[in-house]
Every structure is written in structure tokens, then in C-alpha cells.
Amino acid sequence: MLVLSVFMASLMSLTWAQTSRWGPCPTPKVQPNFSLEKYLGRWYEIAKLPTRFARGKCIEANYSLRRDGTIRVLNKQFYKEKTRSAEGTAVIPDPREPSRIGVSFSYFTPYSPYLVLSTDYEEVAVVYSCTDVLRIFHIEFAWVLSRARFLPPETFRYAEELLLGEGIDLSPMTFTDQTGCKDD
């Protein structure tokens, strides 16, 4: 047990310090009557609870349907003078709960939860992801996405208040630079 707690303490402080919290994942309310069809297309990342893997600017994602019924996720970002993209797959494991999506960027990694907490489909989406680690602590991510590279401050406040209302700590939130991007 001591070894385990030392291991976890170092894991938390080294890797996930800002996005891990004690206890199991919270269970936030999700978008009622979520329509995947209306959600598809391009979303720009306005802000996120930090993730270690995306450090670029102009971050966007394009969701589209594949013929096999899975969702193609094409993430793009500008990093070190280059546009880089990564293709992933999203699925809706339970059609009765369509706002609970799973996303994976590799055949070798499990699907991570992708919960659409709220969206109006036309301006803003608030997305949350949480993974339990041994039910002792959890690792969480959150994203504020927008259909445009700029989100009006009052809409951003709405997204922030929604996350705060679910007890999610926004102090590690970072804004994504969406200026000087190449538009296609």
C-alpha cells in the first residue's frame, strides 16, 4: 500500500498535477437530446484544462461520419511552424445516451470519454472527460469549443459557469491561441 501511494503521489505530481483530483469521477449533467448530426463539422478550441499533448495554436477538430457508422475525428494544430493533424475515431457506445462519446487516437489506446455537457450546435460546446484511476483519484479534461475562432466573452462565461457548477476546478484552464491562423 505504501509503495502504491508513493507511486501514485509521484504520478500525480509529475504528470497530472493540475488535472488530477482525489476521489472518483464526478457525474456531470450532459446535453439532453444530443444530436450528433447537428454536432458534426468543425469546432475550434477556445480553452481547455491543460493536456500535455497539444501545445500548438490554431487548434481545431472536424467531426464527420464514416461509412461504417463511426465518427472520424480530424484534429489540426499549428505547432513548430507546421500544420499537424491527427486522425482519431469516436463512437457512441450507448445510443440511448448519445452525448456520451468515446474517442481514441490509436488502435492501441482505449476510448476516452468525451461528454458533451452542453451545446447549441451553432456557437459553443462544452466538453468534459474524466477517467477514474483505481477509484482513488481521477484525471479530468475539459474543452470550450466554438464554431468560430472567437467566442464572445459572455458565451465563454456561460461555459465557465457551467463547468464551475459541476464542481470542476478551472484554475488550470488555458486559452488556445487562435490568432494568425491560416483559414481554408
Ligand X SMILES: *[C@@H]1O[C@H](CO)[C@@H](O)[C@H](O)[C@H]1NC(C)=O
Q: In the complex, which residues of this chain contact ligand X (CB under 6 A)?
A: 32-33, 42, 62, 64
- By beta-carbon proximity to ligand X, the closer residue of 32 and 167 is 32
Write the CB contacts of 149 (distance below 8 Å, at least 6 apart in sequence): 44, 58, 178, 179, 181
Cβ 42 to ligand X shortest distance, Å: 4
- By beta-carbon proximity to ligand X, the closer residue of 15 and 64 is 64
Cβ 66 to ligand X shortest distance, Å: 9
Distance of CA 26 to the CA centre of its chain: 15
- By beta-carbon proximity to ligand X, the closer residue of 154 and 184 is 184
What are the residues facing 148 on neighbouring strands?
Answer: none
- By beta-carbon proximity to ligand X, the closer residue of 62 and 155 is 62
Contact between residue 83 and residue 103 where contact means Cβ atoms under 8 Å apart: no
Cβ 6 to ligand X shortest distance, Å: 46
Cβ 70 to ligand X shortest distance, Å: 13
Distance of CA 18 to the CA centre of its chain: 15
Cβ 71 to ligand X shortest distance, Å: 11
Task: Classify 111 as helix, strand or coil.
Answer: coil
- By beta-carbon proximity to ligand X, the closer residue of 15 and 35 is 35
User: How much is the CA Rg of the chain, to the nearest whole Å?
Assistant: 17
Contact between residue 172 and residue 49 where contact means Cβ atoms under 8 Å apart: yes
Q: Give dist(CA 50, CA 140) in Å, integer.
A: 9
